[in-house]
Amino acid sequence: MTDNHDARDGVSAEATAPVTPAWETPELERAACLAQECYQNPIAQVAFRAGFLLCREVMARFVEQGGDESTAASIRANWLPQFGDDPGGPRQYDFAEVAEAEDMEKGPWRARNPGPSVDAAVYALTAMVSLGMMLPAIQKEDSSHVG
């Protein structure tokens, strides 16, 4: 028997070796998207994206601690377009994302669904609060037009 066969069953060692895709392959990107698409419940879609956003923020902060701001920025910019537009980092809603009107200054406003990616950014911020993490700078929105 040759060295690449298992004497117990005669199966080639190459045939039984696990196949692990490289991180940069299209197959892995498709697998991640397929996993996310399997969640038909909108709440699960938001939770999946929130975990993704929180993970990329935590990884970026880790890299930043070592002084590599360029790589940290690259991590924060990493997003799968199959999830929709990149909502940015963990943050609060922008009023225009959750309301719409002919005249946004005067209303009347109607509720608007911002989509799972924007919702995820808000949930990721909530997770950061619950974990006691330092929060990103949050700009307060001018809400003087809200009646």
pTM score: 0.65
Q: Where are the domains of the chain?
A: 26-130
Tokens 């909108």 belong to 42
pLDDT band at residue 20 under the 50/70/90 scheme: low
* Averaged confidence pLDDT in the chain: 80
**Amino acid identity, residue 71?**
T
Is the alpha carbon torsion for 16, 21, 26, 30 positive or negative?
A: positive
Q: Would strands 110-111 and 99-100 be described as parallel, antiparallel, or unpaired?
A: antiparallel
**Which pLDDT value is given to residue 83?**
83
Three-state SS at 111: strand
Q: What would the pLDDT profile of 36-60 be if each residue is shown by its tens digit? A: 666 667 888 899 899 999 999 999 9
How far is Cα 8 from Cα 12, in angstroms, rounded to an integer? 11
